[in-house]
Chains A and B, each alone.
Chain A
Amino acid sequence: QKEVEQDPGPLSVPEGAIVSLNCTYSNSAFQYFMWYRQYSRKGPELLMYTYSSGNKEDGRFTAQVDKSSKYISLFIRDSQPSDSATYLCAMMRNQGGKLIFGQGTELSVKP
Chain B
Amino acid sequence: ETGVTQSPTHLIKTRGQQVTLRCSSQSGHNTVSWYQQALGQGPQFIFQYYREEENGRGNFPPRFSGLQFPNYSSELNVNALELDDSALYLCASSPGSSGKGGTQYFGPGTRLTVL
Q: Which B residues fall within an 8 A CB radius of A?
A: 4, 6, 31, 33, 35, 40-45, 48, 56, 58, 88, 90, 92, 94, 96, 98-109, 111
Contacts and interface: CB of A to CB of B under 8 A. Distances in A.
B43 A99 contact: yes
Given A94-B100, A97-B56, A6 B106 contact: no
Nearest to B48: A98
B33 A104 contact: no
Given A44-B90, A97-B56, A98-B56, A6 B107 contact: no
Given A42-B108, A43-B108, A104-B41, 12 more contacts: A4-B42, A6-B42, A32-B102, A43-B6, A46-B103, A46-B106, A97-B100, A99-B33, A99-B35, A99-B104, A102-B42, A104-B42
A59 interface: no
A102 B10 CA distance: 25
A32 B106 CA distance: 17
Interface of A: 4, 6, 8, 32, 34, 36, 41-46, 49, 88, 90, 94-104
A104 B100 CA distance: 25
B100 A96 contact: yes
A96 to B, nearest CB: 4
A45 B100 contact: no
A96 B96 contact: yes
B101 A98 contact: no
A38 to B, nearest CB: 9
A34 B111 CA distance: 24
B106 A103 contact: no
A42 B105 CA distance: 13
A32 B101 CA distance: 12
A67 B33 CA distance: 26
A4 B45 CA distance: 13
Nearest to B41: A103
Contacts of A45: 106
A101 B92 CA distance: 14
Contacts of A36: 106
Nearest to B4: A43
